[in-house]
Structure 1
Amino acid sequence: MRGLMELYGLSAADPECAARLPSGVLLDGGSLSHHPAPMLFIEPESGGIVEANRAACAFYGHPFERLCTMFIDDINMLQRDEILARRRAAATGLANRFSMPHRLATGEVREMLVHSHPVMVGERQLLFSVVHDVTECSRMGEALRSREERLELVASSATLGLWDWDVRTGRLSVNPGWVALLGFPAGWTQRGIDDWMERIHHADRNRVLTALNAHLEGRTDRYEAEYRIHDGGDALRWVHDQGRVVRRDAVGVPARVIGLFMDVTARRYAEESRARLFELSLDMLCILDFEGRFHEVNPAWNSTLGWMVSEMLETSLGGLTHEADATAVAQALDQLAAGERVRGLEVRLRCSDGTWRWLSWSARPEVEQRRIYAVVRDVTHQKRQEVELRRMASMDALTGVSNRATFMETLADMMQRCCHDRAVASVLVMDVDNFKLVNDTWGHAVGDEVLRRLGRAMVPLLRTVDTVGRLGGEEFGVLLPGVGPEAACCVAERLRAAIAAMEVPCDDGRGEALRVTVSVGVASCPPYHSVTEVLRAADKALYRAKASGRDRVVCGPVALLEMSCPESPTIP
């Protein structure tokens, strides 16, 4: 400490190591006042800060007047008892160098190295303290110690292999973890880099050497490779190996390379198994991002949709989706992005030939990876079967038009829309005239053919929005949404005329054809606003058509319009 006193122009003259200084030495504008190092005069027992130089005020962030009314305990972060013990040690000359944390006016805590020595200012003994900020040095030392601890941990690890290659001599040093990973007996030592290279699988060796040389030549930041290597039992293991040049000679030639590797055999085998399953699966497997872009697809996509794998990776799910299903796909992507699974999503995707296939999706997200993993199945055939089953369930088996249940359901929907939208609609009810006589005369086979041809004759004369249904026996109904009573009667007349002109082969051996007629009743909404009312009105109109001589159209509730065609024999 005497050297420090001399450095700052002070001296310790008495037996108690106290130097006598004139009062106010820090405030007289002398060298100590302007010295760049923070300096404090501290009362040993109370810890009060008596005086401070400008550097101390600037460092701690307190004005002179404030700093000289504070106690060192206000700055020092140690316990008060420990601070007092250190002041007393400095005052008696037992110790004069201390490391302690100090708090600045901003609240920041800095690690300080304090040199403290007793001096006499007049008749008063004080501690003359010079402080140095060593925070960054402490942090660097801690980081270095932490790094050394990590290296020590790696070096002693049994799960990581550590290697150290002296490039000039070819000597390769390995840690026990390296030996254990490759199944060599304890104490085994690697002979050199050449021996290591010989153990690498011949199919991987050139690739490893290329990666290593690229790093040694400075073309890459580090060396990294995955390869197969023969272990102590001559079995093959997959390892992930990486290293870096840590020292070069004066002309830049690599002198030392340090690296580590780990056994990734289990992962590689799992990846290979996944790849085989991915390739052989009959299901369509894919990986997408949350924007719907394809990142990986298996060959089943090509066999189902016709797109090459490369073409799939250049497009997105949205780009292939049918416009009618676009909203469902967007909602599913949002759901997956929120971390929720999607099951049984059925949408249409475009094939390479322009046709569409129905696909059923089951997908789960990996939010951290921003990836979607999906299993997709072609359900086009099932969809077509469903459509066919629905059609068959709604169709009259004999005539191919709607059955009664479907007709009544469609009629209820039409009447509801009429009431809600104040729209018009009409219902036709028709019955084949003298149909019992047809069955009795020509047989049921001919009667069935009459009904089939009657149904086929009406469909081309109607709109796609119109519905033809068989209500039972020889009775049919027609629904005309958006058609008022007068137009409905005109439609009914066209149908009646077409049926009257229709010929049905009789198979009587004489080549004669049978003709039939129908009677038609018409009712509209308004004035009728329920299924029961409109059917009752149409039935009444039909009865009047029958009573009026058949082969005619009658509009209900009264005969607004009656139409008939000239009499022509229909049944011999």
Structure 2
Amino acid sequence: MSGTPALPAAEVLFGRMADAVYLLEPLTSRIVWANRAGWTMLGLSPEEVLDHSVLSLQKDVVGAPQWGDIAAVIRTQSPYVFVGRHRHRDGHEVPVEVVTTCFLLGEQEYFLSVARDVTRRLAIEHALHEREQQLWFALNEAADGLWDWDLSDDSVFFSPQLQRMLGYGPEEMRPLLGTWTGNLHPEDAPRVQRLLREHLDGRRVRYEAEYRLRNRNGHYLWVHDHGRVSDRDGAGKPTRMVGMLQDITDRKMVQLSLESLAASDGLTGLPNRRHGEDFLAAQLDRCRRQGGSLGLCLVDLDHFKRINDLHGHLTGDEVLRWVARTFGRALRRSDLAFRWGGEEFVVICPEADLDQAWQVAQRVREALAMQPRENRLQVGPVTASIGVAVYPQHGQDALALFAAADAALYRAKVAGRDRCELARAEDAAAG
């Protein structure tokens, strides 16, 4: 190997390295020295490597002109990193990452290339890539849509499946946060955005919400949405958030239907006694915290047993349904009527004083006294006796209010029915 520099130190320093080391002559691409790994990595002998062109080893550099271009780059960008493939004696390829440095030894220019076998690394990267693809596929199948939010510019990636769910074609949904916020149901938006902000501020482990989202046709879908911050900057500020979204419209409709059934009277469609009592408890709690008054009217249909006896229970049921519809025409929007049981009903009048509660009761009595012509019912006038009590004059809790209203109702019955009576001071004391 004439012209080869004496490198006794190199033999010691590089002889046991796992990476291949080659000393090259830049103009000719000749290998003037190599360590043991330089030939054993390729299944070759020293004689098959030394004094041969590096082009004989490298599959991705072909011919002297290409080598000349690469050499020029190495001189200006030293160290130069190149990823390529070396030929193995057995015919297979060895993927390598080559780092080449240009230097002068005396007046002679040389390239020193360190080639690392990256077969294992590439295999790991390939496995990770496949696993990422499989995971992405699994997530995409498990959800109706995936989203990826870049908080730096409020850009959002909406997966194709999410776009299809909302009725959009490819590229039709603008990849911006405003596309999502603009389609939130107005009633749900404040709550959803509050939950999202609490997660971003670190007050919730993750963001999760059920809400209504408008699709392309203007209809609202019920969705279950959840996600987490995936990246933060050096100061701990969130920079990226990812999540998944599922269409739960069918399940939500069943749930809402069941909730409606659980809170409604099966015959009249009015709220049932349990729902009415819960509403009354909530309104009384509000009155205690904020002040104000509340009216309670106890309504009992007069001689209802006679209707059942003369016309049958089916007709009696029709009358009860007609009474329920009549409440809707007689009450204020804030009032709630519910069925107490049998032919008894309760009307709760939030923020009503004594005069206002009395007016509601009178409108109900007058509306019920009209001949029910719906469904051609021929039962004569339907009248009711009504007892009226008001918080806080007649009671501080629901039990006391009901007792006062019931006492007033009893006086209405005794006085001839088809009339309203106010609770008295002694009714409140007795309650």
Given the two structures, how large is their TM-score scaled by the length of structure 1?
Answer: 0.55
Instruction: State percent identity of aligned pairs.
Output: 22
When residues 536 and 349 of structure 1 are mapped into structure 2, their CA distance, relative to the original with a 3 A threshold, is closer
Distance 2:401 2:422 in 1: 11
The aligned counterpart of 1:428 is: 297
Q: Which has the higher contact order (CA 8 A, sep 6+)?
A: 2
Match of 1:331 among 198, 201, 210: 198
Q: Secondary structure at the match of 2:201?
A: helix
8 Å Cα contact 1:541/1:555 also seen in 2: yes
Q: Could you tell me which of 391, 398, 401 is aligned with 1:525?
A: 391
Q: What does residue 301 of structure 1 align with?
A: 162
Deviations 1:142-164 (A, max 9, x none): xxxxxx99x957x8543x56566
Q: 2:102 aligns with which of 237, 241, 246?
A: 246
List runs of 5+ in structure 1 lacking aligned partners. Answer: 1-147, 249-253, 559-572
Considering only aligned residues, what root-mean-square deviation do their CA atoms show, in Å?
4.6
| Alpha-carbon distance in 2 for matches of 1:214, 1:447 | 102
User: What one-letter code is carried by the residue in structure 2 that aligns with 1:273?
Assistant: R
| Inter-CA distance 334–161: structure 2 relative to 1 (3 Å threshold) | farther
Bigger mean CA offset, 303-312 vs 479-488: 303-312
In our comparison, the structure showing a higher alpha carbon Rg is 1
1:198 matched residue in structure 2: 59
Secondary structure (helix, strand or coil) at the match of 2:209 reads strand
Q: Tell me if structure 1 keeps the 8 A contact 2:200–2:229.
A: no
Distance 1:478 1:392 in 2: 20
Question: Is the Cα contact below 8 Å between 2:222 and 2:252 reproduced in 1?
Answer: no
Q: What displacement does 1:274 show?
A: 0.8
In the superposition, relative to structure 1, how do residues 246 and 422 fare at CA in structure 2: closer, same or farther (>3 Å)?
A: same
C-alpha separation between the residues in 2 aligned to 1:289 and 1:481?
47
Q: Alpha carbons of 1:174 and 1:454: their partners in 2 closer, same or farther (altered >3 Å)?
A: farther
Q: 1:166 to 1:537 in 2, by over 3 A?
A: farther
State whether residues 222 and 242 of structure 1, in contact with CA within 8 Å, keep that contact through their aligned partners in structure 2: no
Does residue 378 of the first structure (1) align with residue 246 of the second (2)? Answer: yes
Q: 2:76 and 2:316 mapped to 1: Cα distance?
A: 91
| CA spacing shift, 1:236–1:454, aligned 2, 3 Å | farther
* Other structure's SS at 2:396 match: coil
Residue 272 in structure 1 maps to residue 141 in structure 2: no
Structure 1 residues 545 and 242: alpha-carbon distance in aligned structure 2, compared to 1, 3 A threshold:
farther
Q: How does 1:156-235 map to 2 (within 5 A)?
A: 156-158=16-18, 166-171=25-30, 184-185=42-43, 187=45, 192-195=53-56, 198=59, 216=73
Out of 377, 380, 396, the position equivalent to 2:265 is 396
| Structure 1 residue 493, shift from structure 2 partner | 2.2
Alignment of 1:117-516 (within 5 A): 152=13, 156-158=16-18, 166-171=25-30, 184-185=42-43, 187=45, 192-195=53-56, 198=59, 216=73, 241=97, 243=99, 246=102, 256=111, 258=113, 260-261=115-116, 262-263=118-119, 264-279=122-137, 281-282=140-141, 283=143, 284-288=145-149, 293=154, 298-305=159-166, 314-315=176-177, 322-335=189-202, 341-342=205-206, 345-346=208-209, 348=211, 353=216, 355=220, 357-363=222-228, 365=230, 374-378=242-246, 380-381=248-249, 382-501=251-370, 503=372, 516=382
Separation in 1, partners of 2:71, 2:261 = 71
Report how many aligned residue pairs link the two structures.
386
Q: How is 1:26-65 mapped onto 2 (pairs within 5 angstroms)?
A: none
* Unaligned ranges ≥5, structure 2: 1-8, 426-431
Alpha carbons of structure 1 residues 349 and 428: separation in structure 2 relative to 1, 3 Å: closer
Letter aligned with residue 246 of structure 2: D
Contact 2:149/2:177 (8 A) holds in 1:
no
Contact 2:149 2:157 in 1 (8 A): yes
> What residue number does 2:6 align with?
none
Q: Partners in 2 of 1:535 and 1:227 — Cα distance?
A: 89
Deviations 1:88-146 (A, max 9, x none): xxxxxxxxxxxxxxxxxxxxxxxxxxxxxxxxxxxxxxxxxxxxxxxxxxxxxxxxxxx
- Counterpart in 2 of 1:6? none
